[in-house]
Structure 1
Amino acid sequence: MGVAQNIQKQISKLADGVTFKYEQLDINPQQFLAAAKAIERLIAKGVIKRVSTGVFYKPKKTVFGELKPSEEEILKPYLFKKGKRIAYITGTSLYNRLGLTTQVPKSMKVASRDKRITVSNGNVKASPVKSYVEVTDKNFYLLQLLEVLKDFKKNPDLDKSSAIKILSNKLKELNPTETELLIKCGLAYPPRVRGFLGALLESIKTESDLTAIKASLNPLSEYEYGIDNKQLSTVENWNIK
């Protein structure tokens, strides 16, 4: 099978609206020039479209015309390197998706441990944030939960009682292995985040051992979140105010 046929076959298997890069296609280094020409021919035919340099998508056709990829889909190629996740979306965009805010951000935030990821692609913009631990497919959604705890006070339209219920439900959905990983990742975050995490996990009566979180905290320190024991019954056990 020729290079062009091989690429067209691979692209035909991709879902409409999904973004992809050259590295996601099975191309030998020696075939890169031929592959680039094949991609350009597919763009000319309208089979695929270019999002930005080296990033493409198959347009989804509807009765109302072609749909562009979602903002998160456009950002997706930046979240991976050689097929491995290196970053995740955080900030107001994440909080909106979790139902914690009604705000729609003008710019997203992308967290990564070792890479500063900045995106400016039409209306889709993203600025870099430093992740506290290395990002992987196994932990990125747990890190997103920790980011919510870290920025809990920064959200001006946050209903704290509703947010605590949403977060508690998310924690209840985790299996024991995921909870243990969450705790391990949480130990890399500031004390206030560790305290908040401990209070939430204790409130849902987790079976996981919270000793490591408790031992990492100064018993004389207090963490100001503006939360009372009616909103979270365990706040006093973790010096949260």
Structure 2
Amino acid sequence: MPSVAERVEKRIARRPGRVFTFADFADLPASAVAPALSRLTRSGKIRRARKGVYYAPKDTVLGEVPIDPIEIGRAANGVPTHLAGLSAASALGLTTQVPARAELAVEGRRTTGATGVVTKPRFGTRRAGLEPAEAALLEVLRSIVSLSELSPEETVERLANVLRRPESMRRVLHAAVAEPPRVRAMVGALAEHLGAAGPELKRLRSTLNPTSRYRFGPLAALPTARHWGAR
């Protein structure tokens, strides 16, 4: 019968590119799993992202495939994570810059760091069910003034593309209610620019102080920006 170390190594080898935690070996004695993972780490067969979180590198003819930072963030924190900051802007095509460490938003708890990842806590959001691009949109809008390398018109077009499908529009309008006021205002301006006029948009507008003014950055180019408090 194979030893615990052999079973751990075989299980990891079957799933290259995957993030592993001790929960993936819950059927094996923990006292034997820990030293097996330590030996595999020392041999270079797996990498340690943080205590209790490992990943198996996947090699191709072009070299090693970088591990998905979202997977590391989810494994390290045990809750949903989304791209944030420059990572989110890059994913949406707003910049060609790639951060030295991936930036992730972590939902609903204080964050736990991991190798190659910067985490930012997000409390009280309504992002459950959002697709990656939709969550990235909300994150980018928090710092849109500094994140886009494109012209204002191109920036508007890139972000508007995320909302063009009716289901995406519905999900983002629902989630935006729990975002900071400036993000709410920019989502509203984008949605109205694309023709949205339903109850979700009216509800979003009702959450904003009609006398408040917000810095929209490149989104000030939206024809609807002034209707939503752009200064």
Distance in 1 (alpha carbons) for counterparts of 2:70 and 2:229: 38
Once the two structures are superposed, the pairs formed by residues 41-80 of structure 1 within 5 Å of their partners are 41-43=39-41, 47-63=45-61, 67=64, 69-70=66-67, 73-74=68-69, 76-80=71-75
Q: CA deviation at 1:78?
A: 2.6
Distance 1:162 1:131, change over 3 A: same
More helix by share: 2
Q: CA deviation at 1:118?
A: 3.0
Partner of 2:98: 104
DSSP 3-state at the match of 1:117: coil
RMSD value, Cα: 3.2
1:184 is matched by which residue type in structure 2? H
Contact 2:156/2:218 (<8 A) preserved: no
Distance 1:138 1:156, change over 3 A: closer
Partner of 2:208: 217
Partner of 2:111: 116
Partner of 2:85: 91
Query: How many residues are treated as equivalent by the alignment?
Result: 227
Whether 1:34 and 2:35 are equivalent positions in the alignment is no
Distance in 2 (alpha carbons) for counterparts of 1:61 and 1:110: 25
Partner of 1:201: 191
Whether 1:7 and 2:14 are equivalent positions in the alignment is no
Distance 1:132 1:179, change over 3 A: farther
Gaps (5+ residues) in structure 2?
Answer: none
Once the two structures are superposed, the pairs formed by residues 143-158 of structure 1 within 5 Å of their partners are 143-155=135-147, 157-158=149-150
2:191 is matched by which residue type in structure 1? L
Q: CA deviation at 1:115?
A: 1.3
Q: CA deviation at 1:151?
A: 1.1
> Aligned residues: percent identity?
28
Distance 1:6 1:136, change over 3 A: farther
Q: CA deviation at 1:182?
A: 2.1
Contact 1:153/1:225 (<8 A) preserved: yes
DSSP 3-state at the match of 2:163: helix
Counterpart pick for 2:155 among 159, 163, 169: 163
2:140 is matched by which residue type in structure 1? V
Deviations 1:141-186 (CA, angstroms, capped at 9, x unpaired): 33321121121113373422111101111111461xx533322321
Distance in 1 (alpha carbons) for counterparts of 2:218 and 2:142: 14
Deviations 1:96-125 (CA, angstroms, capped at 9, x unpaired): 221112333334433223113334x3xx25
Distance in 1 (alpha carbons) for counterparts of 2:162 and 2:194: 10
Contact 1:88/1:140 (<8 A) preserved: no
Gaps (5+ residues) in structure 1?
Answer: none
Contact 1:96/1:104 (<8 A) preserved: yes
Distance 1:228 1:44, change over 3 A: closer
Deviations 1:20-72 (CA, angstroms, capped at 9, x unpaired): 2222x1423x71112223334545665434444333233333456x62634xx
Distance in 2 (alpha carbons) for counterparts of 1:56 and 1:117: 14
1:12 is matched by which residue type in structure 2? A
Q: CA deviation at 1:75?
A: 5.8
TM-score (norm 2): 0.78
Distance in 2 (alpha carbons) for counterparts of 1:227 and 1:40: 49
DSSP 3-state at the match of 1:195: helix
